[in-house]
């Protein structure tokens, strides 16, 4: 995360979204988060991966700009739905793990819990409530998968 984000900000709970260069899918993810009950109580943190250093930098440059513009527009419309919204971009193409790790780490430093999502996940209307219940009443060891796509990690 950029140094500009490193201000004293204590968040109760956060939703962290890893965005690549697919405007339509990340906006779909964010729209589904807004529709998920209880999401208004959370801080939204978005980190967009860059394209410099990828094998096809020039190919992805237009998609990067389009996605950045779509994210900025979406944030300007939906900013007040969340406790706060933080948006940052990486200059370089870090790919999945090198984007997810700093996003999750930074968000956990600032909040009590994190719901992490990639940019192609659609939240059901009860997804945030489900995560809240799972964190409040853990019944399954952290190493076990729940269903097809959910995994709870307690840090």
Q: What is the CATH number of the domain that holds 81?
A: 3.90.550.10
Mean pLDDT within 128-152: 64
What's the mean per-residue pLDDT of the chain? 79
The domain tally of the chain equals 1
Which domain does 79 fall in, by range?
A: 9-126
What pLDDT shows up at residue 93? 65
pLDDT in tens, 64-94: 889 999 999 999 999 999 999 999 877 766 5
DSSP letters spanning 66-110: HHHHHHHHHHHHHGGGSSEEEEEE-SB--HHHHHHHHHHHHHHHH
Residue 66: the pLDDT is 92
Q: Is residue 1 part of a domain?
A: no
Greater pLDDT, 119 or 89: 119
Residue 108 lies in a domain: yes
Task: Examine residue 64 and state whether it is found in any structural domain, yes or no.
Answer: yes
């Amino acid at each position: 995360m950029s140094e500009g984000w490193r201000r004293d900000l204590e968040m109760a709970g956060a939703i962290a979204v890893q965005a690549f260069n697919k405007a339509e899918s990340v906006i779909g993810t964010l729209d589904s988060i807004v529709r998920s009950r209880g999401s208004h109580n959370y801080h939204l943190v978005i980190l967009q991966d860059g394209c410099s250093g990828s094998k096809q930098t020039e190919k992805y440059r237009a998609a990067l700009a389009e996605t950045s513009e779509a994210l900025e527009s979406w944030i300007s419309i939906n900013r007040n739905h969340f406790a706060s919204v933080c948006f940052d971009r990486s200059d370089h193409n870090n790919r999945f793990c090198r984007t997810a790790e700093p996003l999750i780490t930074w968000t956990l430093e600032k909040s009590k819990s994190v719901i992490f999502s990639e940019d192609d996940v659609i939240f059901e209307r009860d997804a945030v409530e489900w995560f809240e219940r799972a964190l409040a009443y853990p019944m399954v060891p952290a190493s076990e998968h729940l269903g097809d796509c959910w995994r709870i990690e307690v840090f």
